Chain A
Amino acid sequence: NAGVMQNPRHLVRRRGQEARLRCSPMKGHSHVYWYRQLPEEGLKFMVYLQKENIIDESGMPKERFSAEFPKEGPSILRIQQVVRGDSAAYFCASSPESGGAGGYTFGSGTRLTVV
C-alpha cells in the first residue's frame, strides 16, 4: 500500500533547461496538490488537480510553470527555462474523492537545484 510517490528525489538542472517532476498519488486518491518550499521558508500552495482537470492554480507562477494530471499516469509539474530562483523542494499531496477528512498524504518531495 504505497504512499504518495514522487520522483526524482533530487534533480539538478542548468539555467534554461526544463524540469519535470512526477507525482503518483496514493491508490484510490483522485486529487493531487503541489506545493513549493523555498529554503528556510514555509510551504506554499501551487496547484490543485483532479484527473484531467485543473481545479485551482492560484499559487502557480503565470509563466514557465504548468501542471497536468492525465487520465492515466502520474501528475506532472513542469518548469520550463528554469532559473536559480526555482531551486526549492516541491511536494505533492493527494486526497481521496471524499475529501481530506483523514488528512492529506504528502510525498517525500523533489529537491530541485538549478545551477
Chain B
Amino acid sequence: DAKTTQPTSMDCAEGRAANLPCNHSTISGNEYVYWYRQIHSQGPQYIIHGLKNNETNEMASLIITEDRKSSTLILPHATLRDTAVYYCIVRVSYNTDKLIFGTGTRLQVFP
C-alpha cells in the first residue's frame, strides 16, 4: 500500500468547513483513497473512499486531484463532535488485506 503524509494537527472553528489534506504521491492506478476517523477512545469509523472522482456522502466530501497524488477530506460544517484523529489510507479496494494506519491528523474543532 502507498504511503500517505498528513499534517499532525489542525484547528477548525465550529460551523466552518474543515479541509484535511493528504499526500499520496506514490499511489498506484488500482489503489483507492480511504478516510477513517477515531474519536477519543472509540473504534475507528469509516468516513468515505474514492478512486479518482470526487465523492460525497452524508458525512463528508472527498476531493482527489487529477493526478491522484493528493486528496482533501472536507467536513462542510464542522461540529465539536468532529474532533478526532483523521486517517488517510491508500489501498486496493475489494481487497481483504489489513488496513495500515499512519499517525493521522488530529482535528480540534473549537467553539
B interface with A by C-beta (< 8 Å): 34, 36, 38, 41-47, 49, 93-104
Residue of B nearest to A6 (CB): B43
Question: Which of A56, A105, A111 is close to B98, meaning CB atoms less than 8 Å apart?
Answer: A56
A20 to B94, CA, bound (A): 31
Residue of A nearest to B92 (CB): A99
A2 to B72, CA, bound (A): 31
Q: With a CB–CB cut-off of 8 A, which chain B residues contact A95?
A: 96
Report the minimal beta-carbon distance from A43 to chain B, rounded to whole angstroms: 4
Residue of A nearest to B99 (CB): A104
A interface with B by C-beta (< 8 Å): 4, 31, 33, 35, 42-45, 48, 55-56, 59, 89, 91, 93, 95, 97-109, 111
Question: Which of A89, A104, A105, A106 is close to B41, meaning CB atoms less than 8 Å apart?
Answer: A89
**B45 contacts A106, CB within 8 Å?**
yes
Report the minimal beta-carbon distance from B100 to chain A, rounded to whole angstroms: 7
Question: Which of B38, B98, B102 is close to A45, meaning CB atoms less than 8 Å apart?
Answer: B98
**B96 contacts A42, CB within 8 Å?**
no
A10 to B22, CA, bound (A): 34
Question: Which of A43, A56, A101 is close to B101, meaning CB atoms less than 8 Å apart?
Answer: A43
Report the minimal beta-carbon distance from B22 to chain A, rounded to whole angstroms: 15
**B46 contacts A105, CB within 8 Å?**
yes
Q: With a CB–CB cut-off of 8 A, which chain A residues contact B101?
A: 35, 42-45
Of residues A4, A43, A104, which shows the largest number of chain B Cβ atoms within 10 Å of its Cβ? Answer: A43
